[in-house]
Amino acid sequence: MDLQTPLKEVLRTTKDHIKDLKDMGLETVEDLLQYIPRAHEDLSQMQAIKSAPLDEKVTIRGTIENIRLIRTRHGKNLITGVFTDLEGETVDVMWFNQPHIKRMLQEGDEVVMTGKLVEKGYKLQFQSPIFERTGDQPLVHAGRLVPIYPQHESINTKWLREKMVLIKDAIPLLPETLPKDVLKDEKFLSRSETINALHFPEKPEEVEKALQRIAFEKMYMLQLDVLERKKEWQGNTQERLQTPMEVDLIKAFFASLNFTPTDSQRVSIYEILTDMEKDRPMSRLLEGDVGSGKTLVAIAIIANTLKGGGQCALMVPTEVLSKQHMASISKVLFNFHSYLEKNKDKWNISMRLPTIELLTGSISAGDAKKIKQRLVNGTVDLVIGTHALITDTVQFNDLRLVIVDEQHRFGVEQRKRLAEKGNPHFLAMTATPIPRTLALTAHGHHDLSVLLEKPGKRQPIHTKVVSPKDRITVERFIDQQIEEGRQTFVICPLIQDSENEEMMELKSVQAEAARLRLEFPNRNIAILHGRMSSAEKDEVMQNFKDKKEDILVSTSVIEVGIDIPNATIIVIEGSERFGLAQLHQFRGRVGRGDYKSHCFLFTTTPVQSNSPRLKAMEQHDSGFILAEIDLKIRGPGELFGFRQSGIPDIHLRRMFNPEMVVRARRAAELAIASL
């Protein structure tokens, strides 16, 4: 038997079980050895019937006699027997609907029973205990730390424990997967020692050491992957990428504003411009809470790049956002240019007014063709649009910088397309605050800049978790706010009512809009959802921005970047269905103007309104604090997609221990540097 021996050749089992193993991704001896237990149960202590506690799992050694098969009046099979422990005490044993046990046990067999002792009348019973014969072989299901495996419909943990014994001799053949220096520095068990300790542990400390090694190795491999991607991205050095940091230009840019940038904004701009002075493409993530001023950082970087003679592209997830950015960025750059013209003597900076174009799906074919031609000619300095900007038909004269807003929507394929356009400097931006340990993993191919402060004096948003029974009070307040000229967002989890039993209680956009039209007959109510065309969504948002609508009922499509300063209330229905980070994103749609703003988190049932997780929204307005709370409560798998990795949650939580992430990152960086 070697590691690649097919399981069907070494396991005494049925074809159906072999097929089920294959469905679980287990085909060879090595596959099965790497099937890690999800937990361990300490059944090492043998007990006696007289002193064993009731209704708790216990392990007792003794003999079995009087084994009988009884058929009940209802046609069920009942196996009964009498179990006598080493002290001579007896207890009745019974198994329901397991007739095969009559064939497995013989009169007088010495066995170890594991199960719960229960009291029935004046007698004790062992009901459906796990058992195994004692003999020359070590115990598998008791008398030790017992591994508990993730189960399949037909493959249970008892079955897996028995099969592991059959392939135990192959464990020493497992090759080492971590570098020798990592093993030495971290004082880890070898890979074969680790696997042996998980399947056949002798002490709890051994299991802990093995789990530490497993978690470290998975994190180390993740870090190697992201660092290799980063190295590949930055492997193509080009002199044209070297963009000098124009310190006076940035100082003048700050002076042109009517507010003072935060220290975080200044530091982030410095970090980004330092990267762009190099001849290899930058790969950086700018992470900032809602309202932390990421767009201002982006504009400063764009201005510096344009001064250096390069072209810039800004990509955003939606057309609505691209038009919003077009308006705001054009205004800031125009004001900056005017400021420089008026203050030539002070700054002595020569910079022409940049040419900015919008390129989205709604642009006519003729206009789009002209814009693309001007991009090739180099007569467009900055183009703003959706991911259509990096299709094959869009080419540039000297694309120096690409900025992507909401980076989580930008995948490997898009990065590949960018590489084909000359590997420009790449800046990703996200308004989803990510705990540093997760950022180093989920976005580890980027260097990280973080905006911790918020510019200006934004008023905190009053947030309240609301039970459905208090709806009337909230709706009276909304009507009063609309009367004073304000507007309201209402967020629903569904577009239309669902027939799914689990979803029937959740509110939908269409049904809630219909209900609100009855509740607020004198108010204008619009709807917005993902099934609408881009043109329809644009029209709805423009009408809302122009104050033609009082209430906008929407799905989560308004989560990112929509800027309506006059909207002061956001109502989130079924708030328990959303993560804290997403709720915080929704909340950021209000509080953008001069008026006091409010966020009401409605729950589907009254009990849910007491949720400590939702109450955290009332107590904290920092996205970073909320992200940390979400990480502790929901785990990294739920938050950032690692759930689909096949890694059990118990290992995920160990992997994302902050110290573990940093150690694995450091080891991966040393490994990459030595290549």
Of 287, 578, 314, 622, the residue nearest 442 (C-alpha): 287
Q: Which of 299-313, 496-510, 556-570 has the lowest mean pLDDT?
A: 496-510
Q: DSSP labels for 230-258?
A: HHHHT-S--GGG-----HHHHHHHHHHSS
Q: How far apart are CA 231 and CA 154, in angstroms?
A: 45
* Selected residue with higher pLDDT from 368 and 420: 368
Mean pLDDT (whole number) for 552-573: 84
Q: pLDDT tens-digit profile of 49-69?
A: 988 899 888 999 999 999 998
Q: What are phi and psi of 165, to 5 degrees?
A: -60, -40
What is the separation, in whole angstroms, between the first and last Cα of the chain?
Answer: 35
Confidence of residue 456 (pLDDT cuts 50, 70, 90): low
- For β-strands 145-148 and 598-602, DSSP reports them as unpaired
Among 522, 556, 528, 557, smallest CA distance to 540 is for 528
Residue with the larger pLDDT of the pair 72 and 600: 600
Q: Tell whether the model's pLDDT for residue 321 goes beyond 50.
A: yes
pLDDT in tens, 80-134: 999 999 999 999 999 988 888 888 888 988 889 899 999 887 888 998 898 888 8
Residues 486, 491, 496, 499: what is their CA dihedral angle, to the nearest 10 degrees? -140
Paired tokens of 17: 């079980």
pLDDT at 140: 86
| pLDDT 10s digits, 605-648 | 999 999 988 999 999 988 878 877 877 776 665 555 554 444 55
More confident residue, 544 or 641: 544
* Pairing label, strands 145-148, 39-42: antiparallel
Domains of the chain: 1-41+145-174 (no CATH), 45-143 (2.40.50.140), 239-451 (3.40.50.300), 462-620 (3.40.50.300)
Helix, strand, or coil here: 145? strand
Helix (H, G, I), strand (E, B), or coil: what is residue 266? helix
> Tell me, what's the pLDDT at 237?
87
Residues 170, 3 contacting (CB under 8 angstroms): yes
Q: Kind and range of the H or E element at 146?
A: strand 145-148
C-alpha–C-alpha distance, residues 402 and 111, integer Å: 70
Instruction: Express as a percent the part of the chain with pLDDT over 90.
Output: 46
Compute the CA torsion angle 260, 264, 266, 271 (nearest 10 deg): -170
pLDDT digits (tens, 9 = 90+) for 235-275: 888 999 999 999 999 999 999 998 889 999 999 999 999 99
Provide the angle, in degrees to the nearest 10, between the axes of the packed helices 294-307 and 319-342. 60
Q: State the Cα–Cα distance between residues 48 and 87, nearest whole angstrom.
A: 7
Asked if the model's pLDDT at residue 448 lies above 90, the reply is no
Whole-number pLDDT of residue 451: 85
Give the model confidence (pLDDT) of 367-394 as tens digits. 999 999 999 999 999 999 987 788 888 9
pLDDT at 635: 63
Is residue 472 within 8 Å of 607, Cβ to Cβ? no
Q: Identify the H or E element spanning 543.
A: helix 534-545
Of residues 526 and 453, more confidently modeled: 526
Residue 499 confidence (pLDDT): 64
Structure tokens at 26: 């287990």
